Amino acid sequence: MSDAPTAITNLLYRYAELMDAGHLDECADLFADAQVLLGDRTDGKPPVVDRDGLAAVWRSMVCLHEDGTPRTRHLVANPIIEVANDGTTATCRSTYTVFQQVCTGPLQPIITGRYHDRFESVNGTWRFSERVYLMDLTGDLSSHLMGSLPGDVGG
């Protein structure tokens, strides 16, 4: 069994791996026991969704290209993990940068932001219990997203 920081960072990286592969439902499964806030809690009332709501948002917004992927690379960095004294809950603040390359266009950064996550250990297995998406900078999202971002949510 992995220690908490390793298990938690693996969840962060698994999210990025599944999203970049275009496996939206599998990615949403990571949040089966979580609530997801699409935006900053301090801006009023951000949309809150569960696993099915998150999958629906992604299916309605993320452009999957001919190869079945969004043609992205999510880089999750700088995880700051704080495990509670009882060892069963934790928080993590991390950053993300999403790169995309479509058709013959250049590889380019399209969005950066932060994830504020909460985790819980259930029967020795770590899982997401909450995610807050925060968006900092955006570039050309026209080949990544259809429509507007709900509650200013990012990658």
Beta-bridged to residue 93, according to DSSP, are 80, 116
Task: Assess whether pLDDT exceeds 50 at residue 1.
Answer: no
pTM assigned to the model: 0.88
Give pLDDT, residue 104. Answer: 87
Element (H, E) at 118: strand 108-122
Task: Assess whether pLDDT exceeds 90 at residue 150.
Answer: no
Give pLDDT, residue 43. Answer: 52
> Helices in the chain by DSSP H: which ranges?
4-21, 24-29, 51-61
46 vs 20 pLDDT, higher one: 20
**Nearest by Cα to 154 from 57, 78, 51, 26:** 57
- The SS3 of residue 65 is coil
- Distance CA(141)–CA(1), nearest Å, equals 39
For 74-118, how does the pLDDT look when each residue is reduced to its tens digit (9 = 90+)? Answer: 999 999 999 999 999 999 999 999 999 998 889 999 999 999 999
Query: How do 35-38 and 48-49 pair as beta strands?
Result: antiparallel
Query: How do 72-83 and 89-100 pair as beta strands?
Result: antiparallel
Determine the average pLDDT of the residues in 35-39: 84
- Distance CA(101)–CA(99), nearest Å, equals 7
8 A C-beta contact, residue 118 and residue 134: no
Provide the residue ranges of all domains of the chain, joining segments of one domain with +. Answer: 4-152
CATH topology (fold) of 4-152: Nuclear Transport Factor 2; Chain: A, (3.10.450)
